[in-house]
A = this chain, B = another copy of it.
Amino acid sequence: MTRPGPVRYLAPPGAIKPTGPWSLAALDTTTNTLHVAGMRGIDPATNKLVEGAEARIRQAFANMRHIAESQDASLQDCLRLVVYTTDMSRYRPIANRVQQELWGAGPYPPRTIVEVHRLNDDDIFEVEGTFYVSGAG
């Protein structure tokens, strides 16, 4: 899945499998910036959505983190998040709780959160992240 040029499209072992014409992430090896596609709460073992809102939201973040960690980046290297949810009042508090678990006392990355009309597979939550990657190569 890698290319000879400076942009590398990633398919790390253990990650979910894209089901369409998109990659999980692209690494710009000239700036060490990792662009992760919007991640949803899909279980990489089955490629199916996890049941339960909190578990699914946690899985979405876990899927993003897995891709970051495959490039030796951590949640502390996150430059920005955009969260898309289908119900702000129900799922934003859950996202907050999950992020507090994952990032502890912080600091937290900048986050933009919006309620959209629909996500793929009628899902409830999707998070797009951009990361700094040290020593990409």
A interface residues with partner B (beta carbon < 8 Å):
1, 3, 5-7, 9, 18, 20-26, 28, 30-33, 35-38, 76-82, 84, 86, 88, 92, 96, 99-100, 103, 106-120, 126, 128, 130, 132, 134
A42 to B128, CA, bound (A): 25
Closest chain B residue to A25, Cβ basis: B110
* Contact residues in B for A108 (Cβ distance below 8 Å): 9, 18, 21-23
- Whether the pair B5, A38 counts as a contact (CB closer than 8 A) is no
- Whether the pair A126, B111 counts as a contact (CB closer than 8 A) is no
Q: List 14 A–B pairs whose Cβ atoms lie within 8 Å, in order of A's numbering.
A: A3-B76, A3-B107, A9-B110, A21-B96, A21-B111, A22-B99, A23-B109, A30-B31, A31-B31, A31-B32, A35-B110, A37-B110, A38-B114, A112-B128
